[in-house]
Amino acid sequence: MTALGSRLFNKVGKFCEQLPVFLNTFLVFSITGEVSYLVLVEAPLEAEQQKTAWSSWWKALHLLGQYFMLGNICWNAFLFLKVSPSIKGVFLGGNGLGQGWRYCYTCETHTPPRCSHCYDCKVCVLRRDHHCVFFGQCVGFRNYRYFLCCLLFMWLGLLYAMVMNAEVFIVILKEGVTLHSILLLLIPWIMLVSGQVSARAFTFAFIADTCVVGFLLVSAFFFFHLFLLFRGQTTREWYSSRRPYNLGPVNNLRQMLGLRWYICWISPLVPSPLVEDGINFQVTGSLEPCQ
């Protein structure tokens, strides 16, 4: 009985770990589908424009832009999950131990500077930034680029979706700021269950709300990581007044995003080899790697 309960608990734990990934995927595709519907069916064009050639071009450009952003979000997320940031398969012997190296009693190995153990991933991660609960994996040396680019296109996509959903807010508030319109925007679920609104109105209100809340959350994460990027820090290092790995804005971009930092954000298919190996790092005022 105890063994059965243990197995059931482990399965529930694994399901809970993957739940944020499924929810994120569902929301991303739901928002994309709703915005596509707005573009194709309820495009905010003047009546005389809707039957012209401009209408087709307008819709095509919008669809091309949003599916370009969706493709980048999905591909960056896929590579982020596929590329392991851990020390598995990495030869740490090198030139011997130096300043900043530690011993991990869980992994039973010495680890280089900026490396730390993740108790969720159950492994040490090179230049560990943080454990991302939304993806269920650590952000580290080898997958940081895909994480940041995924945040970038999520931010752009939510900004675009929020602008496109402005028409939804206008329709809801066209009769004035009433109790009904406020409740529809704030608690659409309760309005649907109580029969106050139709399923269609609920869907548009819920997705419009999700765009606003998602945009605010992603903005906070994205600009915080940009702030850290230009300071040459990870999330674990940001509270420190010392910034030994701050090599200047351009060099920090090269260290984090690779040699083609200026173009790699366009697509995850653009190769951008990393400058360092995740074990040795250049420090401020030094042209040589810190051992």
d(CA 225, CA 228): 5
The mean pLDDT of 78-91, rounded to a whole number, is: 89
pLDDT class of 283 with cuts at 50, 70, 90:
confident
pLDDT in tens, 20-66: 788 888 889 999 998 888 888 766 555 555 556 557 888 889 999 99
pLDDT at residue 190 above 90?
A: no
Q: In the structure, what pLDDT confidence band is assigned to residue 198 with cuts at 50, 70 and 90?
A: confident
Q: For residue range 207-238, list pLDDT tens digits in order.
A: 888 999 999 999 999 999 999 999 999 999 98
> Rounded CA gap, 96 and 192, in Å?
64
Position with higher pLDDT, 78 vs 183: 78
Pairwise pLDDT comparison (157 vs 94), residue with the higher score = 157
pLDDT greater at residue 17 or residue 118: 118
Evaluate whether 256 touches 148 at the Cβ level (below 8 Å): yes
Q: How far apart are CA 5 and CA 69, in angstroms?
A: 43
DSSP sequence for the chain? -HHHHHHHHHHHHHHHHHHHHHHHHHHHHHHHHHHHHHHHTS----TTTTTSHHHHHHHHHHHHHHHHHHHHHHHHHHHHHHS--BSTT----TT---TT-EEETTTTEEE-TT-EEETTTTEEETT--EEETTTTEEE-TTTHHHHHHHHHHHHHHHHHHHHHTHHHHHHHTTT-S-HHHHHHHH-HHHHHHTTSS-HHHHHHHHHHHHHHHHHHHHHHHHHHHHHHHHHT--TTTTT-S--TT---HHHHHHHHH-TTTTTGGG-TTS----SS-SSSEE-TT-SSEE-
Nearest-CA neighbor of 58 among 84, 72, 40? Answer: 40
What is the model's pTM? 0.86
Q: Could you tell me which residues come within 8 angstroms of residue 270 by beta carbon, excluding any fewer than 6 positions away? A: 260, 263, 264
Judge contact between 250 and 241, C-beta under 8 A.
Answer: no
Query: How large a percentage of the chain has pLDDT more than 90?
Result: 44
pLDDT above 50 (res 153)? yes
Q: In the annotation, is 132 catalytic?
A: yes
- Residue 150 makes CB contacts below 8 A (sequence gap 6+) with 72, 73, 76, 77, 80
- Mean pLDDT, all residues of the chain: 84
pLDDT at 19: 78
**Spatial separation of the C-alpha atoms in residues 225 and 229, rounded to whole Å:** 6
Other C-beta atoms lying within 10 Å of the C-beta of residue 29: 12
**Residue 74 confidence (pLDDT):** 95
pLDDT value at position 240? Answer: 79
Q: For residues 29 and 38, what is the distance between their CA atoms, to the nearest angstrom?
A: 14
Choosing from 124, 132, 138, 264, the catalytic residue is: 132
Lowest mean pLDDT, pick from 47-61, 149-163, 202-216, 263-277:
47-61
Distance CA 163, CA 290 (A): 47
- Which has the closest alpha carbon to 11: 21, 22, 19? 19
Residues in the chain: 291
Q: Read out DSSP for 99-112?
A: TT-EEETTTTEEE-
What is the per-residue pLDDT for 95? 54
> Which residue in 172, 92, 159 sits closest to 124, CA to CA?
92
Residue 217, pLDDT score: 95
Residue 272 clears pLDDT 90, i.e. is over it:
yes
